[in-house]
Amino acid sequence: MKVTADQDICASSGQCVGFAPRVFDQRDEDGVVVVLDENPPAELAEAVREAARSCPSGAIKIVEE
């Protein structure tokens, strides 16, 4: 699994951080998503998928490898 986030379309909702805080964070100044781990371990895969599904702007993309 490879995770990316488009910071240009991020809505700063924080949904991703709520579902997968070991994979996502938000910038302090504007709340835009930051990917902490582009290749998260298998045990976090479902949480990352849920974060992507819950993203209101569709900024989070997952490529299954």
The pLDDT tens digits for 1-58 are: 999 999 999 999 999 999 999 999 999 999 999 999 999 999 999 999 999 999 999 9
What beta strand segments (E) does 1-65 contain? 2-5, 24-26, 33-35, 60-63
| Distance, CA of 14 to CA of 23 (rounded, Å) | 12
Q: What's the pLDDT at 65? A: 81
Q: What's the pLDDT at 21? A: 98
Long-range contacts at 52-57 (CB < 8 A, ≥ 24 apart): 52/3, 52/16, 54/15, 54/16, 54/19, 55/11, 55/13, 55/15, 55/16, 56/11, 56/13, 56/15, 57/9, 57/10, 57/11, 57/13
Q: What's the pLDDT at 9? A: 98
